[in-house]
Amino acid sequence: MEYSDHEKNCGRSGMVVTWRRRFSSALLVATLALPGAVMAQREGVDVGGNSGFARLVPADDIEASAGKQYTEILMQAASQKALGSADNAQVIRLRRIAQRLIPFTNEWNPRAKTWKWEVNLIGSKQINAFCMPGGKIVFYTGILEQLQLSDDEVAQIMGHEIAHALREHARARMGKSAATSMGAGVLSQLLGLGDLGRTVTNYGVQLLNMTFSRSDESEADLVGLELAARAGYDPRAGITLWQKMAASSQSAPPQWLSTHPAGNTRIADIERNLPRVLPIYERARKE
C-alpha cells in the first residue's frame, strides 16, 4: 500500500508528537527521582545517603549486640561505684539535653523511633563519650569536667555521637568488612542475611572501640550540628568545643579526640555550614 505525501507527513508528525510526549513523561519521572535537583532543597546540612554496605548486616543484630555490650559496660561501672545515679546533677543535665535532641533523630533514621534510648554517666578521667547503635549513650565525667563544657558544647558532642548511630557508621563498616572477608561470590549466596547475622557476633567486640573514617566523622559533625540547632542549642558552640579539644591535646590527644580528626579543617567545615543551621537555631530558640 502506498501513502500520499500528505499522509506520510501526518504520520511523521504523529510519531514526533508521540515521541515528544514519551520523552516529556520520561523527563518528568527522572526529574522527580533526582532528590533536590528541581524540588526544593532540604533545610539544613547535606551529607547524602547512608552507605550501601550497611544493608549487608541486619540492623537488629547490630543493635542487640550493642545493647548487650552497653549493659556490660554499665554493670562494670556500677561494680566500681563509678556509675552516675539518677539524681546526679550531671546525669540529670545529660538526660535533659538528650530529651531535646532525640525528637529530631527520626528524620535521619526511621529506626530511631523504636530505639530504647539510654543516657548514662561514668566516673572517669577519660575525655570520652559515645553513642552505640540503638541509642545507647555514655559520657565520662572527664570530658565534662576537664573541658568545662557548656550545655551548647555538650549538645554538640552528644549530637555528633548520636549521628554515628543514625548514619549507621558501625553497621556500614561491619558490612564492608564482611563483604571483604567473605568475598563477592559467597556474599551473593547470602542475600537472605541469615549467616551475616551470625557474623555480627564476631564483630561485636569492635563496637565500643570502633574507629570511623574521616568522611564518617565529617558527617557526624554536620548531622550533630543540625540536631543541636533544631533542639535550640547554639551550633557555634561546635567551634569553641573543638578549640577546647585542641587545647587539651597539646601534650597527648585524649581518647575521644584520638579517633576524631580535629584541627582548622574541622572548624572550617563547621563554619562553612553555619549559615545552613543558624536560621534553624534562631527559630528553635524562640519557640
DSSP codes of every residue in 11-53: HHHHHHHHHHHHHHHHHHHHHHHSTTTSSPPPSS----PPPGG
Catalytic residue among 161, 217, 219, 226: 161
For 7-40, what is each residue's pLDDT tens digit?
A: 445 554 444 444 344 433 433 333 334 444 334 5
By mean pLDDT, which of 89-98, 172-181, 196-205, 271-280 is the weakest?
196-205
**pLDDT confidence of residue 209:** 60
Domain parsing of the chain, residue ranges: 52-286
CB 177: neighbour CB atoms within 10 A? 17
Report the distance separating Cα 145 and Cα 37, nearest Å. Answer: 46
| CA dihedral over 162, 163, 165, 166, signed as positive or negative | positive
Mean pLDDT of the chain: 77
Is-catalytic flag, 282? no
Residue 143 has pLDDT above 80, yes or no: yes
State pTM to two decimals: 0.75
How far, in Å, are 101, 119, 205, 252 from residue 122 at the CA level? 21, 10, 20, 22
The count of C-alpha atoms lying within 13 angstroms of the C-alpha of 194, restricted to the half-sphere facing its C-beta, is 2
Q: Are 125 and 71 in contact (CB under 8 A)?
A: no
Report the distance separating Cα 259 and Cα 141, nearest Å. Answer: 19
Closest CA to 284 of 230, 224, 235, 223: 230
Residue 260 has pLDDT above 90, yes or no: no
Average pLDDT estimate for 229-243 = 95
Q: Band of the pLDDT at 264, cuts 50, 70, 90?
A: confident
Report the distance separating Cα 283 and Cα 273, nearest Å. Answer: 17
Q: Band of the pLDDT at 152, cuts 50, 70, 90?
A: very high
Q: What are phi and psi of 238, to 5 degrees?
A: -60, -35
**pLDDT confidence of residue 56:** 60
Residue with cell 601534650: 251
Q: Band of the pLDDT at 44, cuts 50, 70, 90?
A: confident
202 versus 176: the higher-pLDDT residue is: 176
Report the distance separating Cα 176 and Cα 54, nearest Å. Answer: 8
Average pLDDT estimate for 225-239 = 97
Residue 174 has pLDDT above 80, yes or no: no
**pLDDT confidence of residue 55:** 62
**pLDDT confidence of residue 207:** 62
Q: Band of the pLDDT at 245, cuts 50, 70, 90?
A: confident
